[in-house]
Structure 1
Amino acid sequence: MLFTYTVRSKKREELIDITNLLLDAIKRSGVNEGFAIIYAPHTTAAITINENADPTVKGDIINYLSKLIPKNYNYKHLEGNSDAHIKSSIIGCSEMIIIKDGKPILGTWQVYFLQNLMDQEKEKFI
């Protein structure tokens, strides 16, 4: 089964909690045990699992990636989003999820994030 969701961002770089979308997809699928894949079909987006209890974690991730891979560098790509392409390649565009008892297995503080790295709207598949 394939479920499509559209996620809108408010900033150029943002970590957006998409856990509720995954829970919705699992419920709609009727899968009790198995696997799911979250995939963002965009070259300027990424999927990751991390902490969401402390909002400073998201800021630290975004700030460190921006320092490591700055927007304004001597990139050859002319669209002005080379940093987003590099960040997406490093983080990855998908995650495999383990489902048990109709729920994704997550650590206490973990959630699923869509990391917007450039555009204002992203579509992802679960």
Structure 2
Amino acid sequence: MVYREKIKLQSRDRAVSFHDVTEQVKEAVKRSGVKDGIAVVYSHHTTCSVITQECAFDMSMTGLETLQQDLVNVFEEWIPTCRYEGMYLHPGRKALDFAESVGEDNFGCHNTDAHLRSSVIGRNVT
């Protein structure tokens, strides 16, 4: 038996955000009626990551849990947030032309950092 349910989330524009979906996943498993099996949490979006993390209890000055803030800090060192055009090779002219042809603005295309971070972390947890 395969049971599928979608959880919709909205991130903040161009800012790293964290969403705890533990309760939604637990409720989905209950609704499924499955007693023995696995659950997969997966994001279709290429700039979104899925991780498991313990509660840090403490908060940073920015309002994130300290482990979340540590992750943001590490990524700023490894894969800095794209702050200007040309900081990364992507998006190139062809990618920008395609985005324009489907109604996306150029600013939205400069999210290479999010694509790279998602590639490193991954987009699913089982």
TM-score by length of 2: 0.70
- The equivalences for 1:21-100 within 5 A come to 21-54=24-57, 55-72=65-82, 74-78=87-91, 79-96=109-126
In 1, Cα distance between the equivalents of 2:11 and 2:87?
A: 27
Q: Which moved more, 1:8-17 or 1:56-65?
A: 8-17
Cα-to-partner distance string for 1:87-119 (whole Å, 9 max, x where unaligned): 0001001111xxxxxxxxxxxxxxxxxxxxxxx
Aligned to 1:17: 20
How far 1:53 moved relative to its partner? 3.4
1:6 correspondence with 2:19: no
Cα-to-partner distance string for 1:40-85 (whole Å, 9 max, x where unaligned): 0001001000112322111111121122100237211132111000
Runs of 4+ displaced beyond 3 Å: none
Q: Report the AA paired with residue 67 of structure 2.
A: V
State which structure, 1 or 2, has the greater radius of gyration over its C-alpha atoms. Answer: 2
How far 1:5 moved relative to its partner? 1.2
In 2, Cα distance between the equivalents of 1:40 and 1:91?
A: 12
In 1, Cα distance between the equivalents of 2:76 and 2:54?
A: 19
- The 8 Å contact of residues 52 and 58 in structure 1, kept in 2 or not, is answered as no
Structure 2 unaligned blocks of 5 or more: 58-64, 92-108
Q: Report the AA paired with residue 119 of structure 2.
A: S
Secondary structure, counterpart of 1:41 in structure 2: coil
- The 8 Å contact of residues 13 and 62 in structure 1, kept in 2 or not, is answered as yes
Secondary structure, counterpart of 1:48 in structure 2: coil
Structure with the bigger RCO (C-alpha within 8 Å, sep 6+) is 1
Aligned-residue Cα RMSD (Å) equals 1.5
Structure 1 unaligned blocks of 5 or more: 97-126
Secondary structure, counterpart of 2:19 in structure 1: strand
TM-score by length of 1: 0.70
Aligned to 2:102: none
